Amino acid sequence: MLHLMRRLWPSLLATLPAVVVAQAPRPIAISDLTALKTVGAPRLSPDGNQVAYTISTADVKKDRSSTRIWMSPAAGGDAIPMTGAGAPGSNPKWSPDGKYLGFTAARNGGETQVWTLNRMGGEAEQRTEVKQGVDNFEWSPDGTRLLLTIKDAKPDKPKGDSAKPETPDPVVVDRLQFKRDNTGYLDRRRTHLFVYELAGKRLTQITSGDFDDSDAAWSPDGKQVAFSSNRTAEPDNNRNSDIWIVAADNADTGRTLRKLTSNPGADDSPAWSPDGKSIAYVAAIDVPAMWYATQHLAVIPAAGGTPALPTKAMDRNVSTPRFSGDGKDILFLLEDSGESHLARIPAAGGTVTRVIGGFRSVSAFDAAPNGRIAARIAEPTFPGELFTLAPAGPLTRVTHANDSLLVTLKLAQVENIHFKSRDGTEIEGFLYYPVGYAPGLRYPTLLRIHGGPVSQYEAAFNFEAQLFAANGYAVVTANPRGSSGYGQAFSQAIFADWGNKDYDDVMAGVDYAIGKGIADSTRLGVGGWSYGGILTNYVITKTNRFKGATSGASEAHIISNYGHDHYQLEYEQELGLPWENRAAYEKLSSFNDVAKIVTPTLWMGGAEDWNVPILNSEQMYQAMKRMGRETQLVVYPGEHHGLVRLTFQKDRLERYLAWFGKYVMGATP
């Protein structure tokens, strides 16, 4: 029913300036990790003439990144810093009249608050004074109010003897879902919605209850708010979030609260049509498929009714829908076969077109009422930068955050590859040629596996793969079954069957590189983080072809994670209750085959990771050490699932190179 049109675009590398470089371009190095800048999502001014965004840079003193807000002409031109160096600011959003930029920041040792800044210049003004801080905000359509997302405050502790050192309270939990990475143990404090009147500084709570509310969006007339919330009897026992509507002008009594959707799966990301008659959102309709289910675009009358699923036939994940300024179309991000595009479909349904397509990754966008679009776009040899697109016009480059670095680098050639797995299934991936590649020579080769598993390697800049290629390795990154860009059946193929079909798929990628005459079959390495580490564990228990492995933040003894990490519901949905279906847990546990590992393996993880705890890495390390195998364990103190400290990020890369250098390359670390 839906015809998918692909538009050909020139490479973004052509937008790099003609800069004279004194020295010949060099391979990328670990030190470039802190030289690369990260450009945030774009925010177009109401008239479409300006675009606000953030740029994050390395703050070596604080050992983490620092973020500033910038503004550029949407048609291209000189960028203006809106916040000063050392003055944090993020999440910029324009006031409806385009005069002010609102943003969030934690300054002067306080909690995160909403600040505003006159676009013509001057000092930022703090607008909220919420004790526990603000999670998010949205301007009302008339600019007189802010819609705030706020988590309940911690109860005040009784005042004691100030001479005595304060001791921490015991942690008391009574929830079914009692732990979450980056948060720790969960209590009954919930996240709710508030309306803040800017002139009178009056704060009114409009939602409440033992539920979390998110994705809040004003109706065009400013009288209602749509949001996403799981308000079932036991929210911790399912992922059934729905779209709700509440009046914006009354204190919360529950009287105006209205449930709009009835899908038993997850409904989120609501966006109003300009006339206020429809709401677009994202829906996962296959509940048993859990996180393997396709995320569909849905549209429902704001007054209630039956939702339409205009992209269901595509069987591809969509995200961040929003209506065009005239309400005729719905724009959204579309994940497809190792690429992410900005797509459009008529609001009434019809043909999907790729507004920005091609061999690239579009990761964020915004649209102005006049039809101008701003998007963050990356390619395999081009880190994400902002571009704008006028109706029927070409892409216009807006930001140049990394130009001065890129012109000094000699990056690896990246090839989009397709190959057959053992059962004939076609698999897609990316092959990074070693910098300085000479045809006819075979190179040490690293298989890198992505996390998720419901994720994908995309046509975007991959610093880690580029670093390996700069150090003489060919790199294979594959999207095995379980990956998200190829339809639900492809993703769901590993349901309760990890390390089987996806193992065959990634091994086929290695064989492809060998068959092409690039990979040296006697010098192979493998590794990944999160599910990339989990699949690495299956690889090294199934084959001895690899000379070195790195397994980061991985699981190996599945049953020991039940009640220890934050996936209790997902384990039950995919494997059943462990005391009733123990065999399913043991089947997936690579720890049971640890004696088969002969590959020297580096185990890594964060000490406070509750997503994939360090527990299993410790167990695998202990077993390998007991058996006298080559192994090492690296634990990063204070870190969660993703490493935040820059020194730890660099340390991890240094250890990767040293480990593979010793066991795969054969060089002295």
Read off the CATH number of the domain in which 361 is found. Answer: 2.120.10.30
One domain, residues 466 and 566? yes
Q: How confident is the model at residue 9 (pLDDT cuts 50, 70, 90)?
A: low
**Domain-located, residue 337:** yes
Q: What is the pLDDT of residue 1?
A: 29
| Helix, strand, coil shares, percent, the chain, to 5 | 20, 35, 50
Res 10 pLDDT > 80: no
CA end-to-end span of the chain: 57
CB contact at 8 A, 565 and 610: yes
**Domain-located, residue 181:** no
**Domain-located, residue 137:** no
**The total number of structural domains that make up the chain:** 2
Residues linked to residue 229 through DSSP beta bridges, in sequence order = 213, 242
Q: Which of 380, 402, 428 is the last residue of a domain?
A: 380
Which CATH number characterizes residue 597's domain?
A: 3.40.50.1820
Secondary structure of residue 625 in the 3-state scheme: helix
| pLDDT, tens only, 618-667 | 999 999 999 999 999 999 999 999 999 999 999 999 999 999 999 999 86
The rounded Cα 394 to chain-centroid distance in angstroms is 28
Q: What is the pLDDT of residue 253?
A: 72
State the number of CA atoms in the 13 A half-sphere of 356 facing the CB.
33
Cα distances (angstroms) measured from residue 390 to each of 42, 93, 242, 425? 15, 20, 35, 40
One domain, residues 420 and 376? no
Q: What is the pLDDT of residue 166?
A: 78
Res 590 pLDDT > 50: yes
Distance CA 572, CA 238 (A): 11
Angle made by CA atoms 100, 226, 260, in degrees to the nearest 5: 165
State the number of CA atoms in the 13 A half-sphere of 354 facing the CB.
21
One domain, residues 308 and 438? no
Res 55 pLDDT > 50: yes
Q: What is the pLDDT of residue 409?
A: 96
Distance CA 650, CA 57 (A): 15
**Domain-located, residue 232:** no
Question: Which of 7-16, 378-387, 530-539, 581-590 has the weakest average pLDDT?
Answer: 7-16
Q: What is the pLDDT of residue 2?
A: 31
**Domain-located, residue 140:** no
Q: How confident is the model at residue 123 (pLDDT cuts 50, 70, 90)?
A: confident
One domain, residues 443 and 511? yes
Distance CA 285, CA 240 (A): 10
Q: How confident is the model at residue 122 (pLDDT cuts 50, 70, 90)?
A: confident
**Domain-located, residue 7:** no
Q: How confident is the model at residue 8 (pLDDT cuts 50, 70, 90)?
A: very low
**Domain-located, residue 659:** no
Q: Which two tokens stand for residue 625?
A: 């050490």
- Write out the H or E segment, with its range, that includes residue 531: helix 531-542
Q: Which of 380, 399, 427 is the last residue of a domain?
A: 380
Q: How confident is the model at residue 160 (pLDDT cuts 50, 70, 90)?
A: low
One domain, residues 368 and 434? no
State the DSSP code for 488. Answer: H
| pLDDT, tens only, 309-327 | 999 999 999 999 999 999 9
Beta strands 519-529; 443-449: pairing state: parallel
Q: Which of 613, 628, 643 is the last residue of a domain?
A: 628
One domain, residues 366 and 417? no
Q: Which two tokens stand for residue 535?
A: 């699949």
Please indicate whether residue 167 or residue 80 has the higher confidence score (pLDDT).
Answer: 80
Residue with tokens 């300024």: 325
Domain extent for 368:
264-380
Q: What is the pLDDT of residue 18?
A: 57
Torsion of CA 176, 178, 182, 187, to 10 degrees: 110
One domain, residues 581 and 452? yes
Q: Which two tokens stand for residue 89?
A: 């600011």
One domain, residues 531 and 439? yes
One domain, residues 277 and 360? yes
H-assigned helices in 577-614: 582-587
CA-atom Rg of the chain in angstroms: 25
One domain, residues 515 and 451? yes
Distance CA 509, CA 425 (A): 12
Sign of the Cα torsion 126, 130, 132, 138 reads negative
Average model confidence (pLDDT) across the chain? 94
One domain, residues 337 and 478? no
Sign of the Cα torsion 40, 41, 47, 49 reads positive
CB contact at 8 A, 329 and 347: yes
Res 147 pLDDT > 70: yes
Amino acid at 56: S
Residue with tokens 């919930």: 190
Q: What is the pLDDT of residue 482?
A: 98
pTM equals 0.94
| pLDDT, tens only, 73-107 | 999 999 999 998 878 899 999 999 999 999 999 99
CB contact at 8 A, 260 and 281: no
State the DSSP code for 662. Answer: I
One domain, residues 587 and 486? yes
Counting residues of the chain whose pLDDT is more than 90, the rounded percentage is 89
**Domain-located, residue 552:** yes
Q: Which two tokens stand for residue 510?
A: 């290695």
User: Of 82-96, 238-252, 373-387, which one has max mean pLDDT?
Assistant: 373-387
Q: What is the pLDDT of residue 22?
A: 57
Q: Is 78 exposed, middle or buried (0-12, 13-18, 19+ CB in 10 A)?
A: exposed
Res 149 pLDDT > 60: yes
